Amino acid sequence: MDAGQDRAGDPAEIVDAVFAISCRSLPVDHAYALFRAIEAALPWFGEEPAAGLHTIHGAETGAGWTRPEGPEARIELSRRAKLALRLPRHRLEAAALGLLGRTLDVAGSALAVERLALRPLSRITTLFSRSVTLAEADDEPAFLEAAAAELGALGIRPERMVCGRATLLATPEHVHRTRSLMVAGLAPEQSLRLQVSGLGPGRTLGCGLFIPHKDIADLRSRTD
């Protein structure tokens, strides 16, 4: 996993490249396999400091996406599922050329990459990350304390933070523990800064990437 690279930059130069895909299902823990498939198509991806990979999730149930349980668990994907990469604008053309029309092998599942749309970063002041990896992930209070310290070092001080239960992310070298994290009450410029910089290591494995979170009324059910 990449660790602690400086990702400060102009928020206007960072966007999410959102690809329509065709894929029946993926393993729940598909982050490493998807990263390797992307890297095979885009050899520069793992070395680009500003790059990040949003893992793919199934249809929402109830208040939010429900993660299936078990080592062999898979998620069924609808036609609305998307592959999204967080990229600097100067990488967009190369990403489109490398991915559009290509079928990726993700842990034995065929994932066809189709249309591309761009999604700019948001000024929404409540953000959510499905996976943040910090050394303190085993203990919720320690995790929140460590997250607050890292956010403070970025000059970001949310009014409220909520984390979810620990989940596992496996690579050949290590099994990482991660937690989801919501941060609320940011100033707009802090929101943009956090989306650009991320939190903790592992951007290209889907960790530490924040997306807008519009409804905080059901945060606990979304993050558990």
> For residue 3, is it within any domain?
no
Angle between helices 31-41 and 92-99 (to 10 degrees): 100
Cα torsion 91, 94, 98, 100: sign: positive
Q: Report the CATH number at residue 58.
A: 3.30.70.1890
Residue 23 has a pLDDT of 96
> Using an 8 Å Cβ cutoff, are 137 and 165 in contact?
no
Token match 């496996």: residue? 170
Among residues 63, 89, 120, the one where a domain terminates is: 120
Average of pLDDT values for 103-126?
96
- Residue 76 makes CB contacts below 8 A (sequence gap 6+) with 24, 25, 58, 59
Check pLDDT > 50 for residue 7. Answer: no
One domain for residues 76 and 95: yes
Cα torsion 186, 187, 188, 192: sign: negative
Q: Provide the residue range defining the domain that includes 192.
A: 127-223
Mean pLDDT for the chain overall: 87
One domain for residues 112 and 166: no
Residue 123 has a pLDDT of 94
Check pLDDT > 90 for residue 16. Answer: yes
One domain for residues 107 and 199: no
- Residue 90 makes CB contacts below 8 A (sequence gap 6+) with 13
Residues in the chain: 224
- The pLDDT tens digits of the residues spanning 37-94 come to 999 999 999 999 999 999 998 754 333 445 555 556 888 998 899 999 999 999 999 9
Residue 188 has a pLDDT of 96
- The pLDDT tens digits of the residues spanning 19-49 come to 999 999 999 989 999 999 999 999 999 999 9
Among residues 86, 120, 154, the one where a domain terminates is: 120
One domain for residues 59 and 43: yes
Residues forming a β-bridge with 2: none
Residue 70 has a pLDDT of 54
One domain for residues 131 and 94: no
> For residue 70, is it within any domain?
yes
Structure confidence at residue 215 as a pLDDT band (50, 70, 90) = low
Please choose, from the candidates 131, 132, 1, the residue with its C-alpha nearest in 3D space to the C-alpha of residue 57: 131
Rounded to an integer, what distance in angstroms lies between the CA atom of residue 13 and that of residue 47?
A: 18
Total domains, the chain: 2
Residue 136 has a pLDDT of 82
Token match 């239960």: residue? 165
> For residue 5, is it within any domain?
no
One domain for residues 105 and 136: no
One domain for residues 24 and 80: yes
SS3 state of residue 165: strand
One domain for residues 105 and 132: no
